[in-house]
Amino acid sequence: MTGTRDVLGADAERSEARDKVTGRARYAAEYRPADRAYAWPVPATVARGRVTGVDDRQALAVRGVLAVLTHENAPRVAAPDDATLAVLQDDRVPHRGWYVALVVAETLEDARAGAAAVRVSYGTEEHDVLLTRDRPDLRTPEEANGGHPGLRERGDPDGAFASAAVRVEAEYALTALHNHPMEPHAATAHWGGDGTLTVQDSSQGAGVVRDVLAGMFGLDRRRVTVVSEHVGGGFGSKGTPRPHVVLAVMASRHTGRPVTLALPRRQLAAVVGHRAPTLHRVRLGAGSDGVITALDHEVVTLTSRVREFVEQAAVPGRVMYTSPNSRTVHRVVDLDVATPSWMRAPGEASGMYALESAMDELAEAAGLDPVELRLRNEPAAEPDSGRPFSSRGLPGCLREGARRFGWQDRDPRPGVRREGDLLIGSGVAASTYPVLVGPSRASATAEPGGRHVIRVNATDIGTGARTVLGQIAAQALGVPLDAVRVEIGSTVLPSAPLAGGSSGTASWGWAVHRASEQLAALLAEHTGPVPAEGLTALADTRAEAGAAVPYARHAFGAVFAEVGVDAVTGEVRARRLLGVFAAGRVLNPRTARSQLTGGMTMGLGMALTEGTTRDARFGDVAECDLASYHVPVCADVPLVEAHWLDEDDPHLNPMGSKGIGEIGIVGTAAAIGNAVHHALGARLREPPFTPDKVL
Ligand code: MOS
């Protein structure tokens, strides 16, 4: 055993970096089975109604077109739990963009031309797509996403608010936000004649895709193989199977050919989920010392009529601050819209925008520094559950961030700093994300010659997960990193949960750590050379990772922002973003920094550039491509710094890590909004803060 130096915690470069930049890494649409055909879906062009007829004659006359699938001839499937996957099963159009046909052809171009030639007629019905605060049909759901209760109430929030010395009541509105991973959703499906199915899918979890496809197509799970070896981003939108993979399998079964379906970006908004728009009302009551006595956060949002998904944006109010009297409630309305779903830090990103903006307003009303206000409201235990925190790094993040950012030099007065045409301001907001972990299996094999192989159906969606799993194994085995090979992204490997909820490294890593330790013990006992078939240890963390814990476990952070607002054009530019996070032990600083700054950059988009408008008449989202949906580009991204505290939390997992994939986005939009207020002296409450809102 070598291990003179810690492999875990080292700045290891991504093990697949060269494969990615040289094009060797294959993505789902890049598998080329012999005789492969291509599919192109046809989305509904009405907002609600029924398909009354599909005229496929012109499409079938297009050169290379092999088939046109509709609800009349597509393979029948068993009803999935997720009704967004029940495509081409009936004539119903629940929202604009719902798929009504699929064209399969010899080439991508033929399929696209064929899709353009399909003529669909509809019987339209009245549609209703607009979210407002005062809709009479708003309801409080039993559960919001993630299994959180729709409503939680403690004490007397109304009474405490009414009698508070300092009161803030504010409404915030966030537009819908959309997942636009660099690699749009794609799948290559091969329906074998022998009743087997092989699918390469761009997914955050091949295991879920395998199980859902097996159920829908009536196959034994063991006859279905799903591969997600390289994935170009997902941000939650690939966390569940999406219609493209179902359509690809239908097309392969219908034509007897392997079929690739890569979704055009313009169709994503309707079929891969989005962050639902949320309307917030926050009421904070405090004593003259700034200590909160009442916290009331109401979230109004929408879901589709296809499947219920409620953005759990009031949940962070149950975690963050002292609040003896509290109400956190979600209210939702079912509309004729595409089904919302996960987008990086669902719940926290939206909810903390509102709560942390309101905290800034409270600081101003109480005449307190916003860092100091937050420090005064540190709870002794998690307010909603009463459970002690396993660790709570927020005060440390606020202090360290203030020091690094130069917060002590800040003049608290809003609207007084000017550099030419620019009004300058700075702001701060807190960040949080829960610690999630799921049971996983993994195997560790020693091969003759001193190599080791780790096998686990984990997914690397661009995070560096593959690399970090190698580090965890190398550390536990006491071998150098280059003596470990990691195989992930296939259902033929030991089963593992999806890459979601910032839980991947903890979940898979725990099993990898365990298998590697077991293998190290096997090797220590073993005498003589390693046999040709190798020595293997298999671990399953069901007992440990599934166990209930008596602690509230969350990562925390503090994000500081400096903005310049052009008083002539109204353009807001972030000049500096600085985040300090407390997320347990950081296992690879290089890939961790990339996750944190990436999240903060996504928060920058949420604050300044991203958003969609709902067309009430046509039921559509207007911004469906990257020319109109503005994700930040390099010129928009300022100096973004991410730092972290050394946090030693013994109540997590053997690596001592908390998730880092999502926390970076949380709080960033509020920090920027608070800086905009500090610059302007006026409070904007409806991001993105585009020039039309500033002027
Ligand atoms: Mo993430 S939104 O939990 O995939």
Show the 3-state SS of 408-459: HHCCCCCCCCEECCEEEEEEEEEEEEECCCCCCEEEEEECCCCCEEEECCCC
CA of 341 from ligand 1 middle (Å) equals 9
**Ligand 1 centroid from CA 486, angstroms:** 23
Q: Which of 517, 610, 647, 662 is catalytic?
A: 662
Q: Do residues 42 and 100 touch, judged by C-beta distance below 8 A?
A: yes
User: What pLDDT, on a 0 to 100 scale, did the predictor assign at position 557?
Assistant: 98
Nearest atom (ligand 1) to Cα of 343: 2
Mean per-residue pLDDT over the chain, rounded: 97
Which helix or strand (DSSP H or E) is residue 283 part of? strand 278-286
* 293, pLDDT greater than 90: yes
Give the C-alpha separation, 465 to 356, whole Å: 31
pTM: 0.97
Buried b (16+ CB within 10 A) or exposed e, 337-373: bbbbbbbbbbbbbbbbbbbbbbbbbbbbbbebbbbeb
Q: Is the peptide bond before 531 cis (omega within 30 degrees of 0)?
A: no
Once rounded to an integer, what is the mean pLDDT over residues 641-645? 98
Token duo for residue 32 = 């080329």
pLDDT digits (tens, 9 = 90+) for 320-351: 999 999 999 999 999 999 999 999 999 999 99
Residue 3's pLDDT is what?
A: 45
> Which residues have C-beta atoms less than 6 Å from ligand 1?
204, 235-236, 239, 342-344, 346, 500-501
pLDDT at 546: 87
User: What integer pLDDT is reported at residue 193 of this predicted model?
Assistant: 78
Mutate to test the pocket of ligand 1, among 180, 309, 344 (most ligand atoms within 8 A of CB): 344
pLDDT at 91 over 50: yes
CA of 32 to the centre of ligand 1 (A): 29
Residue 160's Cβ-count burial label (10 Å; 0-12, 13-18, 19+) is buried
Ligand 1 atom with the smallest distance to the CA of 502 is: 3
Place of tokens 């966030």: 174
Ligand 1 centroid distance, CA of 344 (Å): 5
Please give the pLDDT value at position 4: 46
Give the model confidence (pLDDT) of 269-285 as tens digits.
999 999 999 999 999 99
Burial 613-637 (b: 16+ CB within 10 A, else e): ebeeeebbbebbeeeebbebeeeee
* pLDDT over 80 at 72, yes or no: yes
Minimum-distance ligand 1 atom for the alpha carbon of 661: 1
650 Cα–ligand 1 center, Å: 25
Cα 84 to averaged position of ligand 1 atoms, centre (Å): 18
pLDDT of residue 5: 67
Answer yes or no: is pLDDT of 613 > 50.
yes
| 142 among known catalytic residues | no
CA dist 174 and 133 (Å) reads 12
Interface predicted TM-score (ipTM) over 0.90: yes
The atom number, within ligand 1, closest to the CA of 499 reads 4
| Backbone Cα Rg of the chain | 26
Structural domains of the chain, with CATH = 34-46+48-126+179-271 (3.30.365.10), 143-177+274-435+550-694 (3.30.365.10), 438-545 (3.30.365.10)
CA of 179 relative to ligand 1 center, distance in Å? 10
> Which atom of ligand 1 is nearest the CA belonging to 501?
3
CA distances from 172 to 300, 398, 694 (A): 11, 24, 15
Ligand 1 atom closest to the CA of 345, numbered from 1: 2
The Å distance, Cα 627 to ligand 1 centre, comes to: 25
Residue 44, classed as helix, strand or coil, is coil
Cβ distance 113 to 62 under 8 Å?
Answer: yes
pLDDT for 1:
41
Between strands 224-227 and 197-201, the pairing is parallel
